[in-house]
Structure 1
C-alpha cells in the first residue's frame, strides 16, 4: 500500500517541523519521516545542550566581574544534570506529542526518494511507501565533517555530538578547528576544569570581522586555553592513555580526548537523490523559495541547502517554504520578489549569529570585507563598547568593541558586529536596522535608553557623522 499526503518531509528537526506545521496550518496534510530523535540536531546535540553547558559559566563570569559579589564556583555534575533536563534526557516523547497536537503524522525510519514525489521508509517492520500529492521537502540537516587527517578516524574522535552530550569532563581536550563549535566547546570545557588546546589552521571565527576572533582568542587564553593559530594537524593516534596529535612543526599535543570541529557537511548522501537526477552528498541548490531548480515539487530547506547553517535561519527558510507549498498547491500568486512572503531573502545579506564565548560575539549582515567584495562603497565605524556608560555599569572593567558597516551611497547599515560580555541580546535591534535598511537619518531618532549598552548606537552614529562630514 502507498500512503498519500500533500507534503512529505524528510527530517524531523526544527526545520522539518516548521515546514510541516506551516503546510498543515494552510490546510494541507503532512508527514515527517525521521530515523533519529524528533527535534533533530539542534534540540539534542547542538544549540540547546551547548548553551545549557555555557550558561552557568557565563553567569559565574558575570558575577565575578561586579564588585560586591563574592564566592561562587562551577559544579560540573550539576551543569551536566541541568543540560540533561533541557534535552529531556534524549527522549523525544514531548516533541512527538507536539507533532500529534499540530496534526502532523510521523513515520519512523530512514526515508529515501525513489522517484518523483515518492519516498520509501525503511524500518524494522520493512519498507513503507509514501507518495506526495504536491511536494517533498528535504530537511535532513548536516553532520560534522571529518577531515582526511591520517589516523583521525581510527582515533575515535569526539564530534560536536560527543562534546555536547559528554557525561564527564576529560582531564584534557585537544580541539581541531577554529570555528564556532571549537571556540564554544573550548570555553565550556576549560571553565569546567579540562586542560584545553585549540589547534586552528588559520585564525578563529573565519568569516567574521577579524577583531572578533582576536578577542575570543584572548578570552580563551584568560581561561587557560592553549590557543595555537596557523597550525596544521598532520596525524592523530590513540593509545592506552589518550590521543596524540602531531602538528605541522613536528611537535605533539597529548590529550585524553580530541574533538574535531572543522565544519559541517550536508546529510544528502543516502536519501535517493540519484533517482531524481541529483548528486548525492552535495548541498542541494535551491531558489529563494527553497525549490530545487528543474523540479516543481522538490524543496531543500535548512543546512542541507548550504545557504546559512544556522537553526534560526533554517526555520526562517521553513516558514517561507511551507507557505509557498500551500500557495502553489492552490494556484495562488507567489510573492517571490525580494523580501516577499514566499522567499528567504535574508539569507543573502542579513543573517544574524551569536557565538556564546567569553566574550560573546553577535553579528548580522555583511562584514567590512564582504561588503567591499560585493561592490559596496562603505564606511567602517568602530567604537569601544566598554566606553559606554551602560557597559561600565554592567561589569567592572568591561571591555568590548562594536563595528558598523555603512553603505555610503544609500546611507544604510550593511552589517554590525558586537564583541563583549552579554552582547547577544543587543543583536535584534541591529538585525532590524540591517534587514529593514533603516536610513541613517531615521536611526538618529531611535533613542537608546540610558544607561544601557544599547547606547552604543548613539556613539556609532556620532562617529559616522564625524567620519562622513
Structure 2
C-alpha cells in the first residue's frame, strides 16, 4: 500500500472530473484523479461524440436530398459500415491514450482503479490487481462519477439482456428490428439514428416523446419519425420482456399486444454512480443522488455541508442538470471555489458569482439531434408559469423565412420565445427545425444576459439567414 497527498482528489475522470482537476491546477493547487474505466467518461465513448457520429450521416443525407441539384447527385443510401467506422474513430476506438496524455500534459496524476471514500478527505483506490493506494486531500474531495442507465423493474427485462445507451452507441451491427422503451432524448435520437441505418424501429413512449420540451417539439419529432418509417406508440408500456433461444425479443404491452424485435433499447432515465464510493463512511446513502449547496458542496439531510465542508459533487451525480456541457460548467465553478477557499479568498455568490452554477436553474441550453433538431434554452412556457412568472408566448413559423427556403426545400420548423412581461426579457427559447442547433447560442446569451427586448431590436440579423427569426419574433411581439 502506498500513500500520496494532494490538495484535491477527484473521483471520476470524465469531462467533469477532468475539468475540475484542470481548473484546480490552473489555480495553483495540486490535484489527482481516480478512474475505474476510460479517462474521458461516458460522453467520449458512449454518449455525446459516438452517438452524434451515428446521427450525422443520416442528417447529411437528408439535407442533401432536400436541395435540388444536390438531390440529383445522391445515388445511394447510407454506407452503414462507413458510418460505424466513423463512429469508432470519434470514440477513439474505446482507447483513452489521448485523454491520459492530456492529463499528463496539465500535470494531473491518474490513479486507475475503484475509488472509495474511507473517511473525511481520504480516498482509497483499489487497482485491477488488488493493490490499494491511499490518497489524502488537504482541501477537498470532488465526486464526479456521473450516472448510468436506469433499467426499470419490468418483468424479464434484465434477463433479456437489453441494450442501454452504451450498447446502442457502441454496437458493431445494426439490428433488423429495434424496440425502444422510452421517449426522451436518448430514445428519440437513437430511433432517428437506427431508422436511418436501416433498422425497423418501434418506440414505446409511455409518457410521450420529449415530454419535458415544448409540446410542439415532440409533435414535430413524432411526425418526422413516422415519416421515416418508425412506429411511434404514444402511451404504450411494456409489462414483460422475454428473449427467446434464437435471440429474438418479445415485448408484451399492457393491452396484451406483442412487439417482436431483435434488440430492445431501454432509455427511460439515469441513476447515480454512487453505490460503492464510500458514502456510508461519511453518513450519506450509497446509491443516492448527492445534494449540493450553491457552491456545489455536498450537504446532509439537514441541508448543511458535511463537517469541514470538504466534499463536493459536480456533474450528473448531483442531479441538477444531466448534460455534459452543464457538468463542465459546474466543474469550472467548483474548481474556482475550491481554490478560493484554499487561499482564504472571498467566495463570490449572488446571481452572477463565478463560484456558483446559476445557469443550472433557468438558463440551461440543450440540443436534441433528432430530425428535425430541437434546440432550447431556459424555461418552457409551462415551466415559466409554474415558476409564477407573468409571461407572453410568441411563436413564428421558420418555413416563412427567406433563409430557411434557401436552406432546404420543404423546410419545416417553429420558433418560440417566452417573455417575462414584468422585466421585458426572454426567459425561454425553443427552436425546432433542420440544423437549428447552431442558432441556439444567440438565445442562450439573450437569456443568461437578460438582454432587454428593446435592446435586442438593435441586434440586426443578417439576411438571408434563418437567424432572421429573431426579427420576426420581435415584430410579432411589438414595441
- The TM tier, using the shorter chain, reads over 0.9
- For residues 392-423 of structure 1, the C-alpha deviation after alignment (integer angstroms, 9 at most, x for no partner) is 11000101000100000100000000000000
Q: 1:399 aligns with which of 405, 408, 412?
A: 412
5 Å-filtered alignment, 1:21-420, equals 21-69=22-70, 70=72, 71=74, 72-123=76-127, 124-239=129-244, 240-293=246-299, 294-295=305-306, 296-420=309-433
Q: Distance in 2 between matches of 1:219 and 1:10?
A: 41
SS of structure 2 residue aligned to 1:155: coil
Measured in 2, the distance between the counterparts of 1:360 and 1:47 equals: 15
Residue 20, structure 1, aligned to residue 24, structure 2: no
Give CA deviations for 1:159-190 in whole Å, capped at 9, x if unaligned.
Answer: 00000001111011000000000010000000
CA contact (8 A) 1:9 1:138 kept: yes
| 1:288 positional shift | 2.0
Match of 2:441, SS state, is helix
CA distance in structure 2 between the partners assigned to 1:156 and 1:258 by the alignment: 8
Deviation at 1:336, TM superposition (A): 1.5
Q: Can you list the C-alpha shifts for 1:420-463, whole angstroms capped at 9, x where unaligned?
A: 00000000000000001000000111000000000000111111
Contact 1:268/1:282, CA 8 A, preserved across alignment: yes
Query: CA–CA distance in 2 between the matches of 1:337 and 1:103?
Result: 33
CA separation in 2, counterparts of 1:363 and 1:458? Answer: 18
Tell me the CA shift for residue 281 of structure 1.
1.2
Q: Distance in 2 between matches of 1:206 and 1:315?
A: 25
State the alpha-carbon separation in 2 of the partners of residues 288 and 403 from structure 1: 30
Contact in 2 for aligned 1:339/1:346 (Cα 8 Å): no
- Asked if 1:434 corresponds to 2:447, the answer is yes
| Alpha-carbon distance between aligned partners in 2 of 1:287 and 1:436, rounded to the nearest angstrom | 23
CA distance, structure 2, for counterparts of residue 30 and residue 389 of structure 1 = 52
Q: Distance in 1 between matches of 2:237 and 2:100?
A: 44
Q: CA deviation at 1:73?
A: 2.2
Give the unaligned 5+ runs of structure 2: 300-304
SS at match of 2:159: helix
Deviation of 1:19 (Å) = 0.3
Tell me which residue corresponds to 2:302: none
SS at match of 1:154: coil
Displacement, 1:248?
1.2
Deviation at 1:241, TM superposition (A): 4.2
8 Å contact from structure 1 (residues 174, 255) kept in 2: yes
Separation in structure 1 between the aligned mates of residue 298 and residue 240 of structure 2, nearest angstrom: 39
Q: Deviations over 1:34-56 (max 9, x none)?
A: 00000000000000000011111
Structure 1 stretches of at least 4 aligned residues deviating more than 6 Å after TM superposition: none
Contact 1:289 1:321 in 2 (8 A): yes
Distance in 2, matches of 1:241 and 1:5, equals 50
Q: Across the two proteins, how many residue pairs are aligned to each other? A: 466
The CA distance in 1 between the partners of 2:80 and 2:352, in whole Å, is: 45
Using the TM superposition, give the Cα deviation of residue 207 of structure 1 relative to its aligned residue in structure 2, in angstroms.
1.0
* Aligned-partner SS, 1:48: helix
Q: In the TM superposition, what is the alpha-carbon distance from 1:125 to its structure 2 partner?
A: 4.2
Task: Quote the residue 1:10 is aligned against.
Answer: 11
Q: For 2:315 and 2:207, how far apart are their aligned partners in 1?
A: 27
Whole-angstrom CA distance in 1 between matches of 2:203 and 2:92: 30
Counterparts of 2:62 and 2:44, CA distance in 1: 25
Task: Provide, for residues 305-332 of structure 1, a one-character-per-residue CA deviation record: whole Å limited to 9, x for no partner.
Answer: 0000000000000000001111100000
Gaps of 5+ in 1: none
Q: Deviations over 1:353-412 (max 9, x none)?
A: 000000000000000000000000000111101101101110001010001000001000
